[in-house]
């Protein structure tokens, strides 16, 4: 096994006072516990193979949480932190671990909201005034998975159309 991409994720939005414990637990189970458990199983295989790549798909919400995404933002911030922990654990074994934190990307899940105007406010926040495309994320994943990139680990790349900047 050369590359693991932790891409499973779910999202529900609502004010923090409406988030139930079962909602919280479900979001955390899929968005954070799942990548932890899969990575935990894969690490020994990568150690035995002499290296590998783990790519976690987080979210810009994990960098800059919004008022209606408490559980989602917390899970994705946790995934970014897990990325850094795994990078520290894997470095001596040539296992590079990075995350991608996309902003608004047009996918099957977001297309309806974007076309109905519900995502207009989010798109308006981008400097490019448009949502990203799947290729804007997948091209980064391909680069992180490739042998052309051998020095980056523990980092988060955020293709977000300029809606947020990192320090």
Residues marked active site are found at: 72
CA dihedral 74, 68, 131, 119 (to 10 degrees): 160
**CA atoms of 98 and 140, how far apart (whole Å):** 10
């Amino acid at each position: 096994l050369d590359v693991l991409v932790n891409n499973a994720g779910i999202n529900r939005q609502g004010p923090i006072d409406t988030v139930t414990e079962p909602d919280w637990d479900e979001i955390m189970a899929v968005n954070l516990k799942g990548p932890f458990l899969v990575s935990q199983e894969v690490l020994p295989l990568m150690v035995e193979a002499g290296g590998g790549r783990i790519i976690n798909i987080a979210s810009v919400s994990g960098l800059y949480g919004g008022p209606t995404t408490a559980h989602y933002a917390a899970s994705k911030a946790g995934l970014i932190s897990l990325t850094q922990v795994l990078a520290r654990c894997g470095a001596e074994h040539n296992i590079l671990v990075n995350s991608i934190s996309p902003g608004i990307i047009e996918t099957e899940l977001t297309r309806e909201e974007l076309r109905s105007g519900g995502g207009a406010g989010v798109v308006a926040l981008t400097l490019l005034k448009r949502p990203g495309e799947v290729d804007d994320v997948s091209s980064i994943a391909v680069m992180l998975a490739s042998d052309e990139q051998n020095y980056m680990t523990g980092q988060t790349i955020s293709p977000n159309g300029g809606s947020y900047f990192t320090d």
